[in-house]
Amino acid sequence: MDVVDKDISSKKKRLGQYPTPPDLVKFCLDKIQINTNLIIEPSCGHGAFLDAIRFATSDNHKIVGIELDADLATQYTGKEKILVKNFYDYDYEYDFSEPEGVTFIGNPPFRSPAVSLKTHRTRIQQLMETYAIKGIKEESIFFLINTIHLILAHRVKGYIHYILPKSIFQNNSVRCESFISFLKKYVRLLQVWDIDEFPDVGQKLVFVSMEVGNRSSPYKNSFKYNGKIALVDEFYGNNTQYITFQKIFKKTYLGSVPCESLFLSVSGESRQQFRDRLAKVFHPNTIITCETLKDLLTFDGNQHIRSVKRGSVNKIKKLIEYIREIKRLEGFDYYLFEDLENYKPIQHRNEKRFYFRHEFLKKSSFVYILNSNPCPSFYFPGNPSSNSTDYFGFCDYDINRNSGPGANRCVPIEDIEDNLCDEFKEYWDKNTNGLPYDKIFSYILFISKSKWYKILKNTYHRFYFGVPEVFDASFLKNVDTSSH
């Protein structure tokens, strides 16, 4: 899998860089004891932890920082050593054989999809194969796995004290089961502290302490959570009993909107009006400049590309590059943009919009299409967050691909019985006395408005959508029992 940086506006977002505030550094160090001579801070940035660690320890400790961003590393003015390199390339440069082992501490990058899938794909694949982990894309998870692997490979005792997204431990996705199993096998969870605030970070974070390696007890069922005894099994994964959408449907799809929103109609714009406007944009005789592009992307005074609306020169220049690139592609035919059939209906949030969709666009460097066979479907948020908006409903052709954690997924309506997991069919038949399978969509809509769903969404920052394990029989009181 390649990571595409086309929708990432800055190096900070691309690399998942979120510098640790000094107060949080102090909070973290106050919660732990450092028992090893060797201390390593990977992804150390400008050294938020380095001097504070030295102050909390002694001159005899060997403290090493690792940072791939040379610009950040040069901002550090302290006395500790920073290696300018990628953490995935760090291995045997220091002697891990000291009897007391090694301590890793710091704030790993938060990024999904992980940049390392592009820069260090082979390394990531080796780690995943070694520990039988599948389906992960989150950089912080890869970072943690790489840390644990280094400790295990050097056969020493190790301690890990990282600031991490809480969701990586409490994700109920089938894909995360192998990661949680890996943690239970190799890691002893010592303590976890919730972090209340972190600038610019929209997800909940925790400060986690773990023990790994020689003479450690890999798994114990208790640890300290915010200073109180808690059960590991209740921390790993969502504790609420429910059936995830992966256990309802065999296949679901992300919507297939091309990534650049210049191919999306403006709110209130008809199909014909959108066709006329976009055809003008791509007409060979149309001269595109920073001054004219904003007008060409505006309908009835409305503009949905926020950066263009704000007059961002860099964004406008980037859009001009995209337009020129398409016009230069081999086989470019302007009449594709005049064919009304290429303007497809799309359920964009709470209204119907249109977007230009044609396989020719895939020749460009900045357009991708995820769902190759869109059709009438039911859509829902696959991975909602506590602060994301929920969209549930039916669409005639396709759905938009939201880029946030609540990205919508869709399920084809036709032949729904063939797409249901056998176990869920038994669950449905048992609890509904054989209600038609297409009523499952009505049940999902019903659950999405329930108190159960609201509580679940507020409790967990991220979770994969599902329905209660205990069927809500109140649904049957008003449901139409006939098939769609």
> What pLDDT is stored for residue 91 in this prediction?
81
Q: What is the DSSP string of 219-264?
A: --SEEEETTEEEEHHHHSS--S-EEEGGGTBS--EE----SSGGGB
Give the span between the Cα atoms of 262 and 344, in whole angstroms. Answer: 14
Q: How far is CA 106 from the centre of its chain?
A: 21
Give the pLDDT of residue 216: 53
On the question of pLDDT at 280 being above 80, the answer is yes
* Confidence at 297, pLDDT banded by 50, 70, 90: confident
Mean pLDDT of the residues in the chain: 84
Domain with CATH 3.40.50.150 in the chain: 11-239
CB neighbours (10 Å) of residue 129?
Answer: 10
Q: What is the pLDDT of residues 367-385, one digit of tens each?
A: 877 777 788 999 998 878 7
pLDDT category at 5 given cuts 50, 70, 90 is very low
**Which three-class secondary structure state does DSSP give residue 354?**
strand
How much of the chain, in percent, has pLDDT values that exceed 70?
88
Determine the residue type at 429: D
Q: Are 263 and 257 a contacting pair, CB within 8 Å?
A: yes
The residue assigned the tokens 């890869």 is 142
Residue with the larger pLDDT of the pair 115 and 200? 115
Which comes out higher in pLDDT, residue 237 or 16?
Answer: 237
- Which residues partner with 39 through β-bridges? 63, 103
Question: Cis peptide before 381, with omega less than 30 degrees from 0?
Answer: no
Return d(Cα 226, Cα 208) in angstroms, integer.
10
Tell me which range, 109-118, 200-209, 470-479, is most confidently predicted by mean pLDDT: 470-479
Q: Write out the two tokens for 329.
A: 């592609």
- The sign of the torsion formed by the CA atoms of 383, 387, 392, 396 equals negative
Of 340, 358, 234, 353, the C-alpha closest to 304 is 353
Q: Identity (one letter) of the amino acid at 6?
A: K
Topology (CATH level 3) of domain 11-239: Rossmann fold (3.40.50)
Residue 409 has pLDDT above 70, yes or no: yes
Residue 283 has pLDDT above 90, yes or no: yes
Q: How many CA within 13 A on the CB side of residue 242?
A: 24
Say how far apart CA 474 and CA 60 lie, in whole Å.
Answer: 67
Q: Are 127 and 63 in contact (CB under 8 A)?
A: no
Split at pLDDT 50, 70, 90, the class of 429 is very high
The answer, yes or no, to whether residue 248 has pLDDT greater than 90, is yes
Q: What is the mean pLDDT of residues 286-294?
A: 87
- List strand residue ranges (DSSP E) for 12-151, in order: 38-42, 62-67, 81-84, 102-106
Q: What is the DSSP track for 288-337?
A: P-HHHHHHHT-BTTB---HHHHTT-HHHHHHHHHHHHHHHHSTT--GGGG
What's the pLDDT band for 214 if we cut at 50, 70, 90?
Answer: low
Q: How confident is the model at residue 27 (pLDDT cuts 50, 70, 90)?
A: very high
Return the closest-CA partner of residue 459 out of 240, 246, 309, 267.
Answer: 240
- Distance from the Cα of residue 61 to its chain's centroid: 37
Helix (H, G, I), strand (E, B) or coil at 280: helix
pLDDT category of residue 16 using cuts at 50, 70 and 90: very low
Give me the half-sphere count of Cα atoms (radius 13 Å) on the Cβ side of residue 53. 28
Flag whether pLDDT at 6 surpasses 60: no
Min mean pLDDT across 157-161, 195-199, 225-229, 357-361 is at 195-199
Q: What percent of the chain has pLDDT over 90?
A: 42
Residue 372 has a pLDDT of: 74
pLDDT of residue 96: 65
- Give residue 97's pLDDT: 63
> What length does the chain have?
484
Report whether 71 contacts 45 (CB < 8 A). no
CB 117 within 8 A of CB 5: no
In what helix (H) or strand (E) does residue 347 lie, and over which residues does it extend?
A: strand 343-348
Classify strands 377-381 and 351-356 as parallel, antiparallel or unpaired: unpaired
Spatial CA neighbour of 466 closest among 276, 238, 307: 238
Position 28, amino acid: C
Has residue 403 got a pLDDT over 70?
A: no
| Strand pairing class (38-42; 102-106) | parallel
For residue 411, the cross-strand partners are 378
Angle at 74 between CA 68 and CA 76, to 5 degrees: 105
Check pLDDT > 70 for residue 11.
no
Where is average pLDDT lowest: 99-113, 193-207, 267-281?
A: 193-207
CA 34 to chain centre: 32
